Each structure stands twice: as structure tokens, then as C-alpha cells.
Amino acid sequence: ASWFGHVEPAAKDPILGVTEAFLADPSPDKVNVGVGAYREDNGRPVVLDCVREAERRIAGSMNMEYLPMGGSMEMIEQSLKLAYGEDSDFIKDKRIAAVQALSGTGACRLFADFQKRFLPDTKIYIPTPTWANHHNIWRDARNAPDGSFFLLHACAHNPTGVDPSEEQWREISHEFKVKKHFLFFDMAYQGFASGDPERDAKAIRIFLDDGHQIGCAQSYAKNMGLYGQRAGCLSILCDNEMQAVAVKSQLQQLARPMYSNPPLHGALIVSTILSDPELKSIWLQEVKCMADRIIGIRKALKENLERLASPLSWEHITNQIGMLCYSGMTPEQVDRLANEFHIYMTCNGRISMAGVTTRNVAYLANAIHEVTK
């Protein structure tokens, strides 16, 4: 008998599967607007100047020892300043339990495991639609009783690119107070929505001002282009320092049997950039530059569609923010784009604007027009 004969192939990941299909297509015209990874206008992945410079500074000056179980203290401190505010009293009062995490996914997953171990009776409510992997990490959806856990995207909602306004966040915060809900912010795109990380943290700051306890997953995949480095942070605001120490120790305990301690290189890059005023200001310019390219290419896509006299409204392309555009195309139209035009995106019609360039925008617009008219 075979040990593994009963193992069926896993269902294809809805997002990563798109890249596989794209790679397998021999057409020279092919376009990948599936995975949400930033590309320059020449279609190539980008390594930020601040990252290259940080690597130069790190090179040769460090050993390869393990990080502590909770990760790099310097990286965690800088991450907290970025999310909670440079002068946050919560940081000074040591009320935040935080660990370095395996990028945003790892931060969400660690929180889910923490929740399962210490609050086994709480569900978490996640947006519909949301990033597909949230469903894998947590599972459930129903009318929320008071005192429920919620996950919301801090900014640049994936896949819709539609965020609540500041006014709406204040209302949400008020409702959460009334219902005694707990909010876990998934912040995978800080800086990518508006071009300014401070502005993109507004929702979190509103919740903090209103006296909520929150959790937060941060990722440096997009805003520093550190995708493969798996650099992120999980933080949980606690009642006091003693509680924060306890919670952090439990987060480490959860991480220990999974991966012992997080990777070093990405954490060093992040802390080197964020702790150096010169490198940080380069980073801020570069994030803004990425966000601006996306804003510009959204405009170009919309104008191209209008020029083709598309009878549909494409206002949402420029109203939405962040890297992703929720186009409104149906799975059938998405299929036609792949089969007839070699254009690949997730079946929910989500276009990664990062894959759209000056060179392919007219081709993409024409194809969208063809399948939607």
C-alpha cells in the first residue's frame, strides 16, 4: 500500500494560478494583470533605491545569527511607529504586543492562531469580497453578535480598491464602540493608496483616538517591494504593559513550532531604511512615485476605453485606489480576455494596475472593449 496514494492535487490558488496560465502562454502579446505585484512602466519588477542602498549598508557588516523568536526589535519598533504614529503614547507605554511576521500573510495567520488558542469562541467577520486568502486563514460569516472580531482592510481594499471615507471610518468606529467589536486591520498597502503612508494609516489612527483596542497586520511586500523577503509585523494593542508582555510571549510560543524565528534579511532592510532619515525620505518619495504611476495608468486605461466609445461607464477605474482595479467584468469576459487576447486576470475581473503599462494600455483597453460591448 502507498502512504500517499490518497492525496489528491490541491485546488489551484485563484490568484497564483493566473500567473501559471500566463507563463504557459507563448503569445508575444500576453499581458499579466493577475498577481498584485508592482511593475515599472517597462513591465519589469522594481527594486527600490532605498532598498539597494540599505543592502549596501548591511553588506558585510552583519552576522547570520538567528533573530530572537519575536524577530528584530528595531524592525518592530519602526513598524509600530509607521502604523500607530511616530509619537504614539501606546508605543511609549509599551502597550503593544508585537512580533515580526512572515509578511502580511504570516501576520494574519499568527493572529488567527492566537485567536483560536485564546478566544476559541470568537468568530471573525471578513469583508465580501476580500483577498481570497483571508478565507483560507479564517472561516465564517453570519450576523455578528456584540463583541465580535472583524477584519477590515486599513487602506486600498483588495480586490475592490474602494475604501471608506474618513467620515465613514468615524461612523464605523462609533458602531464598533457601541457593539463592543474588536477590529483587526489588515494593512498590506500602507503608502500605496494615497502615496503617503501617514494618510493611509488614517483609519487606524481614528480607531486609536476613539479608544479601541486593535490588532494590525503590516506587510512590506508592496510598499517596499520586498515581496519575497517576507517582512511584516503583527501587533496587538493591549490594556497595559503587563498584558502586552504576556500576549507577546504567547505569540512567540505560537511561532516557535511553525518556524522558530523569522527571517533576517528583510527585517534588516526595513529597519535600516526606517531608522535612517535620509533613507526614509527616499523611501517616501519612491512609494509616492509607485502610487502616482498607478494613478496615471488608471487614467490612461479609462481614457482609452472612452476613446473606443465604450458605452459603459468606466469612472470606477479612476475612483478606485491602490494597485487593484475591480473592473466589473464577468468570469466569462475574463475567460475571453485570456483565450482571445492573452490577457490574464483573476476570474472576479480584478485587474492589477501594476501590470498595465504605456505600451500595453491601448491593447488592454481594446480587448476589454471587445469583450464588454
Q: Which of 36, 197, 215, 266 binds ligand PMP (CB under 6 A)?
A: 36
In angstroms, rounded to a whole number, what is the distance separating the alpha carbons of residues 170 and 259? Answer: 38
CA dihedral 187, 191, 197, 199 (to 10 degrees): -90
Residue type, 130: T
Active site residue 146: no
Question: In the block, which residue shows the cell 483616538?
Answer: 209
Active site residue 3: no
Q: How far is the first Cα of the chain from the last one, in angstroms, to the nearest whole number? A: 56
CA distances from 17 to 10, 35, 48, 133, 136 (A): 12, 9, 27, 13, 16
Please state the closest distance from residue 10 (CB atom) to ligand PMP, in A: 18
Helices (H) and strands (E) in the chain, counts: 15, 10
Least distance in angstroms from the C-beta of 234 to ligand PMP: 11
Site string for ligand PMP, 129-148 (x = CB under 6 A): --x-----------------
Q: Is 131 a catalytic site residue?
A: yes
Binding-residue pattern over the window 338 to 367 for ligand PMP, x denoting contact by CB under 6 A: ------------------------------
Considering only 98-106, 165-173, 198-206, 293-301, which stretch makes contact with ligand PMP by CB under 6 A? Answer: 98-106
List 131, 138, 169, 314, catalytic entry: 131
Q: Considering the candidates 138, 169, 222, 302, report the single residue annotated as catalytic.
A: 222
Closest to ligand PMP by CB, 126 vs 364, is 126
Reduced to 3 states, what is the DSSP secondary structure of residue 299? helix
For residues 218 and 255, the answer to whether their CB atoms sit within 8 Å is no
Instruction: Kindly state the smallest distance separating residue 159's Cβ from ligand PMP, in Å.
Output: 8
CB of 50 closer than 8 Å to CB of 282: yes
Query: CB-wise, 145 or 228, nearer to ligand PMP?
Result: 228
- Does residue 53 belong to the site contacting ligand PMP (CB under 6 A)? no
Candidates 89, 90, 92, 96; CA nearest to 70 is 96
- How far apart are the C-alpha atoms of 300 and 132, rounded to whole Å? 28
Binding mask 161-200 for ligand PMP (x = CB under 6 A): -------------------------x-x------------
Helix, strand, coil percentages, rounded to 5, for the chain: 45, 10, 40
The single residue of 138, 169, 186, 248 carrying the catalytic annotation is 186
Binding site for ligand PMP (CB under 6 A): 36, 103-105, 131, 153, 158, 186, 188, 219, 221, 227, 232
Residues marked as catalytic: 131, 186, 222
